[in-house]
Structures are given as C-alpha cells and as structure tokens.
Structure 1
C-alpha cells in the first residue's frame, strides 16, 4: 500500500458514520493508529451489544504497527481498545483520565497486566518511528481531551479530536491555541477535523452557560431532584454538585458506570467533592426530599439503566413520587427518540416533573459548531483537508466550508471507511480501498455474527417462527408421529387454532401425494417442500412470511 515515498492516511472507522472512530497513518515501515472506538447498535442490529471496526488492514501489517494514540475517553474512541490490545502488543498512549477509563476496560477483559499504557500530557512531544506527535489540549464534554499535531517529513498533520471553543470551561482549561499555532506555524500539511455539529450555525454554548439553567431548576424545585447525565461528563457532574452544595442538598450517585467514573475523577483530581456532600441509598429514607439530589445514568432510555428501572417502577429502592423533578441533562441521540419519549411518559405517569432539551436549555454540546470549524481552518491553514467524525452529509457540508475558506476544491477530500489518502511528490490523491467493515459484539462473541444471522433475526422479529415436528418411518417414509405445528411470534395459537390445524392438514396431504406416487422423499427434500407449501399457504391466508423450521426425525 505505502512506500517510503508516500504517507498514507487510512480510514478504518468514523468516516461517514457517528462512532466507530479509528484511523491509521502509514509511512515507510511504521503505522500509528489514532483511536479505537465502538458504535452502539442501530435499530436493525437485533441482539447486538456493540460494533467495533474490522482490524483486517492492521492485522495484515502487524509488524508495522508502532502505537495506538487515543484522543479522549468517550466510548466512540476507546470502546474497541480491549479488542485492539488483545491482538496488538504495542504501546497505547493517552492522557491521565483517558487511560484511567481504559484501565477499567482492560481489567474487565483480563488484559491490564499485559498492556503497555503510556501517559501523555498536553505539553509532551512523543517520537514514534518517523512520526513526532504533540498532543494539544482541547475543550470537550469529558476531561483531558486532546487533539494531535503529528509531524511527518511532509509537514504537520492536525487531528482536531472532538473539540469546541469554550472560553469559560468549567475546569478553566481552554483549547491550547498557542501550542497549535506554534507547532504548525501556518504550514499544516493536512487538517482532519471533527464534523459532528457542522449543521449548526454559530458557536457551541459554553458548559458554564448551562449552570444558569441548572441553578434555576434548583431554585424552582421543592422536592427531590434527579439528574440523568452521561457518566463521562465530569464537568456537568461538577456543576450539579457545586449548585447542590449552595442549596444545602446532599448528592447520591447511583449506577455502576457513574459511580466508577466519579471515583476515578475524584482520585485523579478532576472532580472536587467531599464526603460531607454525599449520601447513600440507605440515607434516602431519612434525608428530607428538599435536601436530596440524585445523579444517575439513563438519559437515553437504556433498558437496564437505573433511571429506566425507576421510571417503570422496577427499582428496588427508588420510587418516583409527586414533587420529584427529573432532569435529562443531555441531548437526544438520533435513533433514541422513541425510547426517551417512552421514558418521559412513564416518569410523568408516576407524578414526576420532567425537564429535557426540548423545553429547557439543559445541555451544551461538546462539539464545535460551524463558526468554530471555520476558525480552526483559518487558524492552521492546511494544504489539504479531510472532514472526519460524521455521517456522509456532515462530511459534504464540512468540505464545502473548507472550500469557501479558500482551500482549493481538489485539495479537499471526502473519505469513507476503507478509503486511503496518499500524500507524496507534492500532491495528494485518493488511493485504493483497504479491507474494512463492522465487527458485531454479541455477549461474549466477537465477530461470529454476520449479515445472514442479522437477516434471520430481523425476519424472526418481524414475522415470527413456525416449527413443524414429525417422525417418519425410515424404511417406508410414512408418518409415525405428528405433524405437530406450533409458532412463536407469528399468531396466537389460542385465538387462531384453525390456521395451524390447516397447516397440519396441508402437510398430511403432501404425504398422501407421496404415498400415491410411491415416492419416499429424502429428509432434506421433504423439509424444502414443507417450507415451500407452508410459505405459500401463510402468505395467501395472512399475507405474512414467518420463518418455517421443519424438524424431521427418521426411525
């Protein structure tokens, strides 16, 4: 793919989709990988827990891989790290908080002791083969996020990471404009820039802006307050804790992921709180409602989250009551709207007041809006431009912005997963495709679920299952037992017994036909014929196409 004369940018995930972020830079005998994220399953991925990138391209170049560099600790950037670490014994670089999150994942997979984790700071310079990498601090909705300035023989590449311009961040750490300017010196070879919010005009609001809304909610509420947040949004959690303290309220953290992240953030100095500000589940019965704040997960209506169990009345210790105010302090992730609306409806049914993004300004995005994207382009003045981290429409819109900012059209490239960009000899061009794809995680299985299995699951979910069971004489082919016909997810057998009885008669007629013709069919042929006849019958009677599964035993 790449020779000593060329630098190759390889899109392995996150190019044309939200999530699954992963890319590689190949130069000579060295490859560095940036991010290894997952994607949460789409609606048609029945039973799938998560999706990770296909590592085939990296697997084929195992000896060339020098390092994995992680920009920050969100799942769409670190979710695939344990699976990467299982295959590739190379150093993994990340900031302190990012590596703390990765350690927890590696510990769960029994990989911590064998993985080489190396902490980087925003002021560091790391030499990895022919690459010299300088992380620079960015503002995002998680602490310790960085972008990357990757120096190559052809000039510096700027990888924005997930970023926004926040002039009043909660932790006081702004995007490091000075380092970005100094390291690139207006001669950036390539800018790879976050495209998530390219559709939104203006500037992303500061996280501190949300504090005013949160303070108003505290002032208006006389009962218990329950905040649902992303477990990684430590800055939002800090603001809620601080305002709770001002209003004389005690804080309960509930949910495994949020308790784990709060513990790590507190130990590492990213979250400031004291034991005096906290309560436990057993304290709920004794602390007055107007002194209680609960912070939990479940803002996206996740089925097993604490908030969902609370909303449906299934939580053992926490029950919604009139006077409670529930705040979903996050955006509705596209695809989750129906689930979230169902959650909100159940909370209202139980007497809670619910506040969410459509009625109050309670969330600030961690991704740059359009004017901030323009600022970054004007700041680094890249020769070439590639939009990343977005669906295809986002990439197209971001490319148009870059062209409007003066970058020639033939130097602005849209890359999708599997695409390569080859830079060398004073030019850049799209190269040939490399192996890419999506690997499905289902329980403990990794990659054992493919398209045909998902199609079967979709078919079962939409049309149900009909099972035919019978025993036939091995010598003569006659029926010894059955046929028994029963269904799951197809029809109600109690309400429509005549349909399955008719299906039994159809099978008996099929056997009568074989007997008249003196034919003893093979089991495989018999299964195919039963499927064919029942498929036609059910479609004619009901207009449905269930999965038909004949089970035939010969005796």
Structure 2
C-alpha cells in the first residue's frame, strides 16, 4: 500500500449536494498526480500522472495511480481535466483509457497534443476538448473555469470548479514568474476575482513550500547558458526534461548566438519538441536544428546535443552515454549541462551518471555547481501571496511529499486560515466539503500499481521483495529425493547457488548432513513433500544466517522416488 490509513474507516455516503475530494496519487509523493471529485453522483478527474521508480523497486518501469476505487464507476466520469503536459500529470492517461476509451480529455492545446501523441502509441483515439484561459465549460454538475498559470511548460492551467457545494480552486503545478519567456504569467487578477467570490476549498501545489522567498525567473538561465556556450571548446550536451520547452528554447538561442547546431537526442525529446515547434510554442532559429545523423559531419565545437536523462533514468540517452552504450560518445573536454533540479529519490541515480561522465573526461555542470535551472513551482513567498489574495475558507495542500504539504499548511495558518480548516490528506484519504467546511471522513484502500514490461498491476510488493533479495543476497536451491514409502533420503541434497558467497560445492559441506538428518527425522510419521520443503528451507536458512550472516532466497525442491 502506498499510504495505508488503518485508523480511518470507509467513508459514509456523500450527503446530497456535498463535494467529495479523493487523491489517488500525488499526496505524500512527488508524482502520480490524480484527484477525483464527486458531486451529485458524477465524477470529475483532475490529472492522471505517473511516478518513476526508485532503486528499491527493481525492474519497474512506471508506477500508476490506483484506479481501483473508481474502477466500477468509470461510466460516472464526466471528464478528465489535465492541468499541463508533464509526465507526472498525463503519463497514466493511456492506462486509464484502456478501461474506458471515451472519457473526454479536457486541456490546453499543447497539453492535449502531447497526450494525443502518447495515446497514439497505445492505439487509442481519444475524445478531446481544447480549452484556453478564461474559458468556462460545464462538465456534468461541475462548472470548470480555466485560469492561466506559469510553470516550466507552456500552456499550464489552474481550474476553478463550481458546484452546489461551493467553489474549489485547484492550481495544478504553478509558480509566479513575473518575467516568463513566453510572456504568460499566472493570472492573479483571476485569483483575486475568485477570492472576492469566495473560495471554499483551495487545493494548492506544495512542492516548494519549504523553500523561502520567491522562485527565480526563467530568464536568469539564459545568460548562464550563454557563458557556458562561450567557454566550451568541444561538444556540448544539455540534458533536460523532454517537455521543458522553455529550457530547450534557451539552448537553441544560445547555440544560434555561438554558431552551433543542435540535434535532439531521445525519442520523447524529438517527439515533444516537434509538437511544440509545430504549434508555435518553440521558435527554432533558421538552420540551427539538424538531424542526429549529421552530427558526425560537423566539428565538435559546432555541435550541441539536447537530450533526455537529467534524472539519471537508466534507459535515457544521457545515462547510456555515460555507460558508453549510445551511438553518441562522450569524450574528454566535452561539456555536459544537466539543466534540471533533482527530483527527490533520484539523487543516487543522478550522481552515478555525473560520476560516469566525469570519468570519461567531460566537464559536468549541474545545479549544485552553477545556476543552470530554476524550479517550476511556487516558493513560500509566492504561496503566501496566493493565500492573502484568495483568503480561502478551507485549504488542502496537494502535490508533494508529506513534509511539503505540512509546510504548505503552516503557510496557510500564518495568513489567517483557521488550523481546523486546513486538511492534510494522503493518497486514499477522503475529504468532504459539506456546508462550507472541509473535513476528513474516511479512506479508501489505494496502493502502487506497477508497470513492468507489458504487465500492469501484476507485480506485487512481495515480488519486489523477492527481487531485492535476489539482487542483494542471491539464491540457493536445494534438490532432495525421498523414498515414497519409508520417507528416507535416497538422493541429495544437491545445492545450486547464484550470487551467494564463495564458489564450489564445498560451500555447503557443513549443511548437507544437517538437512538429511532433519528430513529423516521428519518423515517418521509419513511423507508430506510441502512440509519437507519447509523443513529444508528453515534448516538451510538458519545455517546461512548463523555462518554467513546473509538471508538469500532459498528454493527447496523435495520429490518422492
């Protein structure tokens, strides 16, 4: 389970005219964002994203929200509203639409274009409704007004949801950059207007709530890139999120200023930037963009490679370059710029890539050594402004680890929101807005849903535990044959091991006689192969623990002869 809450029971039936809010992901973690609103028997979903696995989840490709609480109510879903085009907000859409392909998708032009490209790979043709800031759409019993917000991807939207129970404002991911590259600022006039109307529940991005002050503007990065490009003597490799249009724009501009050509590396980077350019969100200077195949024909001091892998993802382009497993080789004197911040949990993977690149002789520039990235999320100062403008009656921090949500809650209290009107809810916790007051009324069971190759939801926590044991401790298999009548050992025990201490059969010389003796003693009352396997497992496990202080996976096989 992702965030079990045994102290909470199932929620009661929703009172007539009330609004229910349930986070199926994104509450207590950075990623997997998905919020379900219920009103008058209908459901409205806001975002449907993925979480990327950590080292203790070996073999997992993606982690999805748990759709189980709404699996039997998909016909009640009036729409899926997407706030912006980042993977942690749209990545799980194909998996939800597998169960009901005609759920209407509502979002801005760029967001829907990115989703449609993703769904095309899954052979799903969605029904979409494009919206712009200032537009209002009636979606079942939910009246949704869309508001421009600034983020690290163009066309991000907040959504104000009006119902009979009151007005809910969901920010999505946002910040208040006053000098955005595209000139599109967070619409504080709309926030003020909603504040005057009365916001009954404010669901607000918590990612940077612990960071004091204000998030630096994107424009601060341009001069830094210009300086780096001016000093670089050989190839430049810039790693970023494949959807960070603003950062790619700055790289294209810096490359053009220094007479370099840019090639996109990585399938998602090529796809997303192609979409952004076609829709006019990315302005490509004439002659700057080239195909990756043309790179080898140019001098190193005229090349920039824009690639994926800024979070240390093992299969992304930058990681493969660091491991010498990519057609692009990193050579001594190359400059690698990691133009993103660290997502919590990815630190080890990122530093592993950095070390690999430095070992190859590259000059690596990252956030801890130069100002080459700014966050896309509002810091504490910006959140305080929002609270003071909106003066919400109730607050529910969303999008962040538990510590981020607590910090966000404290900011709300400082601005005058009563502490008993601030609700901190994790995944699966049910929050009801009844008669103008938001409160926790129960919880629904939710967990992590793992995508592992072509399987979805088939991998369990027990499977991951087995994988961790195999990876860290190895395994030992024991084969024994016993007489079907007397129960005495007639062959074995034979040991096979992988990833375990030492080499050769002499490793198990001290345990063979103990296993045989334990089996002979156990079969005096008859032959039960399952019981005998458990005896072998316990005997060998105890011996390994005492002698080697290890806990490998033990696989006993007992057959009758």
Q: Give yes or no for TM over 0.5.
A: yes
Match in the other structure for 1:457:
467
Kindly report which structure 2 residues correspond to 1:49-448, keeping only aligned pairs within 5 A, or say none.
49-88=61-100, 89-112=102-125, 115-273=126-284, 276-315=287-326, 317-448=327-458
Kindly report which structure 2 residues correspond to 1:432-511, keeping only aligned pairs within 5 A, or say none.
432-494=442-504, 497-511=505-519
Q: Secondary structure at the match of 1:227?
A: strand
Pairing 1:521–2:531 present = no
Provide closer, same or farther for how the CA distance between residues 129 and 507 of structure 1 changes in structure 2, counting only shifts above 3 A.
same
Contact 1:67 1:93 in 2 (8 A): yes
Deviates more, 1:337-346 or 1:524-533: 337-346
Task: State how far apart, in whole Å, the 1-side matches of 2:131 and 2:417 are.
Answer: 32
CA offset at residue 56 of structure 1? 2.1
Task: State how far apart, in whole Å, the 2-side matches of 1:252 and 1:48 are.
Answer: 30
Match in the other structure for 1:42:
54
CA offset at residue 106 of structure 1? 1.5
Contact 2:148 2:156 in 1 (8 A): yes
Match in the other structure for 1:554:
560
Unaligned runs of 5+ in 1: none
Match of 1:5 among 1, 5, 17: 17
Match of 1:536 among 535, 538, 542: 542
Task: State how far apart, in whole Å, the 2-side matches of 1:177 and 1:518 are.
Answer: 82
Task: State how far apart, in whole Å, the 2-side matches of 1:440 and 1:380 are.
Answer: 38
CA offset at residue 425 of structure 1? 2.7
Match in the other structure for 2:40:
28
Contact 2:209 2:408 in 1 (8 A): yes
Task: State how far apart, in whole Å, the 2-side matches of 1:98 and 1:492 are.
Answer: 55
CA offset at residue 73 of structure 1? 1.1
Contact 2:489 2:520 in 1 (8 A): no
CA offset at residue 539 of structure 1? 1.4
Contact 1:493 1:500 in 2 (8 A): no
Task: State how far apart, in whole Å, the 1-side matches of 2:223 and 2:152 are.
Answer: 17
State the TM-score, normalized to the length of structure 1: 0.94
* TM-superposition CA deviations, 1:424-444 (whole Å, max 9, x none): 234332212223222122111
Contact 1:11 1:416 in 2 (8 A): yes
Contact 1:485 1:503 in 2 (8 A): no
Provide closer, same or farther for how the CA distance between residues 61 and 280 of structure 1 changes in structure 2, counting only shifts above 3 A.
closer
CA offset at residue 183 of structure 1? 4.4
* TM-superposition CA deviations, 1:226-276 (whole Å, max 9, x none): 101111101100110011101111111111111111111111111111562
CA offset at residue 152 of structure 1? 1.7
Contact 2:195 2:389 in 1 (8 A): no
* TM-superposition CA deviations, 1:86-107 (whole Å, max 9, x none): 2234211111111112112222
Q: Secondary structure at the match of 1:283?
A: helix
Q: Secondary structure at the match of 1:8?
A: strand
CA offset at residue 483 of structure 1? 2.4
Contact 1:486 1:500 in 2 (8 A): no
Contact 2:519 2:536 in 1 (8 A): no
Q: Secondary structure at the match of 1:321?
A: coil
Task: State how far apart, in whole Å, the 1-side matches of 2:422 and 2:531 are.
Answer: 58
Task: State how far apart, in whole Å, the 1-side matches of 2:520 and 2:452 are.
Answer: 44
Query: How many corresponding residue pairs?
Result: 548
Provide closer, same or farther for how the CA distance between residues 150 and 333 of structure 1 changes in structure 2, counting only shifts above 3 A.
same
Task: State how far apart, in whole Å, the 1-side matches of 2:202 and 2:486 are.
Answer: 75
Task: State how far apart, in whole Å, the 1-side matches of 2:279 and 2:490 are.
Answer: 72
CA offset at residue 475 of structure 1? 4.0
Task: State how far apart, in whole Å, the 1-side matches of 2:390 and 2:19 are.
Answer: 20
Contact 2:171 2:203 in 1 (8 A): yes
Task: State how far apart, in whole Å, the 1-side matches of 2:398 and 2:128 are.
Answer: 26
Contact 2:263 2:304 in 1 (8 A): yes
Provide closer, same or farther for how the CA distance between residues 384 and 536 of structure 1 changes in structure 2, counting only shifts above 3 A.
same
Contact 1:99 1:117 in 2 (8 A): yes
State the TM-score, normalized to the length of structure 2: 0.93
CA offset at residue 531 of structure 1? 0.8
CA offset at residue 524 of structure 1? 1.0
CA offset at residue 359 of structure 1? 0.8
CA offset at residue 299 of structure 1? 1.4
Unaligned runs of 5+ in 2: 1-12
CA offset at residue 195 of structure 1? 0.5
Q: Secondary structure at the match of 1:403?
A: helix
Provide closer, same or farther for how the CA distance between residues 522 and 182 of structure 1 changes in structure 2, counting only shifts above 3 A.
same
Deviates more, 1:353-362 or 1:338-347: 338-347
Task: State how far apart, in whole Å, the 2-side matches of 1:178 and 1:18 are.
Answer: 29
* TM-superposition CA deviations, 1:314-363 (whole Å, max 9, x none): 22x32222221111111122222222222122212212111111110010
Deviates more, 1:117-126 or 1:258-267: 117-126
Contact 1:186 1:381 in 2 (8 A): no
